[in-house]
Structures are given as C-alpha cells and as structure tokens.
Amino acid sequence: DAGITQSPRHKVTETGTPVTLRCHQTENHRYMYWYRQDPGHGLRLIHYSYGVKDTDKGEVSDGYSVSRSKTEDFLLTLESATSSQTSVYFCAISWGQDAYEQYFGPGTRLTVT
C-alpha cells in the first residue's frame, strides 16, 4: 500500500462555503495529483504538482485551487463550493517524470447541498 491518506473521508457542506481537502503521503514522491470521479466521466485531473510550490492546472481546474508547501502535503481548495462539485475526490502520487504509474489514496466523498 502506498502511504497516502486523505482527509476528511466524507464531508457535507453548503453551497458557497470554502472547503479544503488534504492529501498526505509518506513516500516522498515528487508528483502529486488531484482527480474527481463522476459517473459517465471516469477520473478527471483537477490540478497536479511536480514539486514544492510547483503546481499546474489539469483538465477541470475551474473553481479549484491547490497548494503544496511541503513534499508530503497537497491541499485542494474549493473556493466557493457549488452543487456541481459534489463528487468523489482522489489524490494520487508518482515518483517522477520517468514513472508513469500513479498510486491513489482512498478518496474523499464531498456533497455540496
């Protein structure tokens, strides 16, 4: 098991409130990723990081921001949650540019009411 934890595992929040999800790894992997999983869409990349303070946008980044101040932590923030952001969020890690395999955390189920 890759040492990846996500917190919280479940969250219900109201429209318009900010939400932060945390991904923590103990593997010292360079790359970290945030995905969302929705029916009919599979997993879609939100943001990714290729090092401390180095982040970039993925396919579905609107309404999300990220921060990585330490190698082990990657935070995903929904600035003002909307019902369309109700989803399951997965964090993933990989070694680096020569590694293709990504290893996933257990996920966070977020419901925006």
Q: Residues 5, 27: contact at Cβ < 8 Å? A: no
CB closer to other proteins, 15 vs 75: 75
Q: Residues binding other proteins: what is the number (CB under 8 A)? A: 28
Question: Least separation, in Å, of the C-beta of 15 and other proteins?
Answer: 25
Which of these segments, 11-19, 32-40, 64-72, 75-83, binds other proteins (CB under 8 A)?
A: 32-40
Which of these segments, 13-21, 55-63, 64-72, 78-86, binds other proteins (CB under 8 A)?
A: 55-63
**Pairing between strand 42-51 and 54-57?**
antiparallel
For residue 65, what are the contacts with CB-CB under 8 A and spacing of at least 6? 47, 76, 77, 79
DSSP, res 98: T
DSSP, res 100: -
CB closer to other proteins, 53 vs 100: 100
Buried b (16+ CB within 10 A) or exposed e, 98-110: eeeebbebebbeb
Among 11, 22, 50, 73, binds other proteins (CB under 8 A): 50
List contacts with other proteins (CB under 8 A).
Answer: 4, 31, 33, 35, 40-45, 48, 50, 56, 58-59, 90, 92, 94, 97, 99-107
